[in-house]
Copies of this chain bind each other. A is one copy, B any other.
């Protein structure tokens, strides 16, 4: 039986499969239909200091092989999460990573500090790449200096693994991957959604109330695999591959490109139980290719020179 354990900084995951932020709520929402122990770690919906009501509807629209969303980071806020949600989550056998948001560098640090003091939080994913908020978010993730500032601040505020989540809306992802590594990140999540716009031609209004949104789903997979491959060659810390994963074969592309773990996002909405299918597919593949450990597959792409 091939080994699926992977190490993300000081955090060990039973398997390299995570539920992506904003696509599994706080974990508890899906616990009655999904066995959370089939998921290596769940990443919470983005959390600020205070609760947010998010954007107006429509917030999600389908596009070819994809999903465009502008939720606007509706959430309960870090304190309510720690007090009300975390106790329920502790009952489940999975790791919990908090997706940290902020409108200022200080807010990122403060959210991180509170999350770190709580019992049952195992890592921090730093969301510097949300395209659907008016302040912060993607602004931090598309400027290497700001990226470095935010990640350094979070680094100082916690002992937990720090995992900045990169925006794909940049010319050269390796610049941002290095900025994160320099700032003391333990791993990198690659990637968040692509900034997109869909228009209702009858009303001539954007199909999303917010206007633009973030594109996710199978449509973006080739772009996310490319960025994972570039980032993995640029830094030594582990890369978590994200983007359009809908099958074990999709996940394998990311591992071969250099990802140490992967996250499933959009597919949680239509296939909440996809994790057991992917795990079975990984085991079948590793066995057939005589690989004893998923870690032996990471970054083994044979790229033509």
Contact = CB atoms under 8 A, between A and B. Distances in A.
A244 B300 CA distance: 32
A257 B300 CA distance: 42
B171 A221 contact: no
B252 A201 contact: yes
Given A169-B171, A225-B197, A206 B65 contact: no
Given A64-B66, A205-B301, 16 more contacts: A63-B218, A169-B171, A194-B222, A195-B223, A196-B223, A197-B222, A197-B225, A197-B229, A198-B253, A199-B225, A199-B253, A201-B252, A201-B256, A205-B304, A206-B301, A215-B223
Contacts of A94: none
Contact of A219 (B64, B169, B204, B226): B64
A211 interface: yes
A68 to B, nearest CB: 5
A32 interface: no
A195 B201 CA distance: 29
A26 interface: no
A205 B170 CA distance: 26
Interface residues of A, number: 49
A206 B303 CA distance: 7
B66 A199 contact: no
Contacts of A304: 205-206, 209-211
Nearest to A141: B171
Nearest to A220: B219
Contact of A215 (B66, B197, B222, B249): B222
26 contacts: A63-B218, A63-B221, A63-B222, A64-B219, A65-B65, A65-B66, A65-B219, A68-B222, A142-B171, A142-B172, A170-B171, A171-B171, A194-B223, A195-B223, A198-B253, A199-B256, A201-B256, A201-B285, A204-B300, A204-B302, A205-B302, A206-B303, A210-B304, A218-B219, A219-B219, A219-B220
A211 B225 CA distance: 12
A252 B211 CA distance: 17
Nearest to A229: B197
Contacts of A249: 201
Interface string A164-198: 00000111100000000000000000000011111
Interface string A142-163: 1000000000000000000000
A203 interface: yes
Contacts of A268: none
